Amino acid sequence: MGSESDSINRHHIAIALGIGLGIVVVIIICLVLAVLLNRRYSSRPFVSKDKEEKLRKLDAVSPVRTLEEFWSNLKGPITSSEGTDGQFNCAVCLDPVLPSQNIRELKCPHIFHKDCLEKWYLKNHYNCPLCHKPYYVQETQPGTDFVWMV
C-alpha cells in the first residue's frame, strides 16, 4: 500500500508540475505577443492622408524656405563670415544647415532642416525642440479621463 500511495503522490506532483509549467508558458507567450504588438503599432507609419493633412497644418505655422532666403529676409545676403562656418546647426539631427537646404523656421525663431522638423512634428511634438515653446496648438486636446491610483 506504501508503493501505491507513492505512485499516486508522484502522479499528483507530475500533474501539478505540468499545470505550473503550462501556466508559465502561457504567460511567456502573452508577454512576447504584447511586446511584438506594441512594437508593431508604435512604429506604424501614418496613413498618407493624415500625414499630408498634418504637414499642411505645419506649413501654415512654419513655411518651407532655404536658409539663404531666411537669412536674406532677416539680415541681407549671407557673407562668407556668417552662417556658412557652422553657425547654423539643426538641433534635431545636429548637422549643419547649408545655405541651399530647405528649412522650417519657428516662431521662436529657431530653424531646422525641413525633414527633421517634419519627423519631429509627425511624432506629435508641438513644441520647439530647443526652447520648448509651442509652435502649434493641437485642435483636439488629450482627454483628462485618467484613472488616478492612490
Give tens-digit pLDDT for 40-79: 766 555 456 788 888 888 888 888 888 888 878 776 555 5
Q: Are 135 and 126 in contact (CB under 8 A)?
A: yes
pTM: 0.53
Model confidence band, residue 142 (pLDDT cutoffs 50, 70, 90): low
Question: In the numeric block, which cell numbers belong to residue 125?
Answer: 511634438
